[in-house]
Amino acid sequence: KYLILDEAQHIKNFKSQRWQMLLNFQSSRRLLLTGTPLQNSLMELWSLMHFLMPSVFQSHREFREWFANPVTGMIEGSSDYNESLIKRLHKVLRPFLLRRLKCEVEKQLPKKYEHVVLCRLSKRQRFLYDDFMGQTKTKETLATGNFMSVINVLMQLRKVCNHPNMFEPRPIVSPYRMEGLVYYTASLVYDICKYDPFKHVSLSALNLLLADVELCLTAFAAAIKFCILLKSFNWGDY
C-alpha cells in the first residue's frame, strides 16, 4: 500500500529508467525523503512531484513554462525578479512538502559531545609533510591563492596525515626469496603423442607405474615387474 523512498534525489531525472520503473509500482500512498529536493533545475522538482501525484502535476511542459523558465531567467539575470511568481510557486508546493528545519530537529537530538585527540606525526610523515611544503611548486601554488589549487595542496597533506603510503607508496620488501618457476616438459610426453590410442595402450608409457603394478597377482611378481620397468626407462632423457 505504501511506497517510501529515501534519498529521493536519485529519481530527479524523469528520463531515467529508475524513475520510469518506480513510477509503475502500484501503491495507494507515496512518500519521498530527501535533503536536496532541488539541486540544478526546477524541473527536478517536477519529477519528484509528478512521481508523488501524477494526476496533479501532469504536464511537464506547463510546469516548465509557468515556473522553470521564469525562475531560471531570474537566476541568470535575463529577467527581473518576480515576487508574485515565487509566492505562487510556494503556494502550489507548500501542501505537499514537509520541511524540517535544523532548529526544529536539534531540539529532538541528544546533546553532542566532541573529543579532540591530537596525534603526532611519525618520522616519515613529518619528513614527507615538511618536504612537500618546502617544494618550490607548492609555495608557488599557495601564492596564487586559487581556491582549487589550495584545496589540492590540503588534500595532499591529508594523505600524508592519514597514511604516508597514500602520499608516497613504497615497495614491499621481504626477506623471503623464491626462485622463478621453470616448467620442464619431459621427453616422455613427446613420445606419448606418437602413440595411436586405437592400436595399443601402454600404462607404462603414460607413467602410470603403480596402476600397471596393481595388475600383478602377487607382491613378488609386482616387485619384479617394477624393477623391469625402471630398467626400461631411458633416464638420460630427464
* Average of per-residue pLDDT across 25-45: 76
Residues 229 and 149 both lie in one domain: no
Residues 27 and 93 both lie in one domain: yes
**Tens digit of pLDDT for each residue in 188-215?**
555 656 655 555 555 555 454 444 444 4
**Tens digit of pLDDT for each residue in 93-131?**
777 777 777 787 888 888 888 999 988 999 999 999 999
| Backbone torsions φ then ψ of 101, nearest 5 degrees | -85, 160
Residues 141 and 227 both lie in one domain: no
Does residue 50 sit within a domain?
A: yes
**Tens digit of pLDDT for each residue in 46-92?**
788 888 877 777 776 777 766 666 666 666 566 666 677 777 777 77
Q: How confident is the model at residue 220 (pLDDT cuts 50, 70, 90)?
A: low
Residues 65 and 97 both lie in one domain: yes
Residues 51 and 133 both lie in one domain: no
Buried b (16+ CB within 10 A) or exposed e, 16-30: eeebeebeeeeeeeb
Answering whether pTM is above 0.75, one says: no
| pLDDT for the residue 159 | 92
Q: How far is CA 20 from the centre of its chain?
A: 25
Last residue of a domain, one of 115, 132, 166: 166
**Tens digit of pLDDT for each residue in 116-175?**
998 899 999 999 999 999 999 999 999 988 888 899 999 999 999 999 998 888 877 777
Residues 191 and 161 both lie in one domain: no
| pLDDT for the residue 124 | 92
Does residue 115 sit within a domain?
A: no
Residues 99 and 160 both lie in one domain: no
Residues 49 and 141 both lie in one domain: no
What is the share, in percent, of the chain residues with pLDDT greater than 70? 63
Residue 135 domain boundaries: 123-166
Which amino acid would we find at residue 59? S
**In the chain, how many domains are there?**
3
Q: Which residue shows C-alpha cell 522553470?
A: 68
User: Of the candidates 97, 111, 106, which has an alpha carbon nearest to the alpha carbon of residue 34?
Assistant: 97
Does residue 181 sit within a domain?
A: no
Residues 147 and 66 both lie in one domain: no
Residues 145 and 78 both lie in one domain: no
Residues 77 and 130 both lie in one domain: no
| pLDDT for the residue 145 | 84
Does residue 176 sit within a domain?
A: no
Does residue 147 sit within a domain?
A: yes
Residues 45 and 135 both lie in one domain: no
Does residue 117 sit within a domain?
A: no
Does residue 111 sit within a domain?
A: no
Position with higher pLDDT, 171 vs 226:
171
CATH number, residue 52: 3.40.50.10810
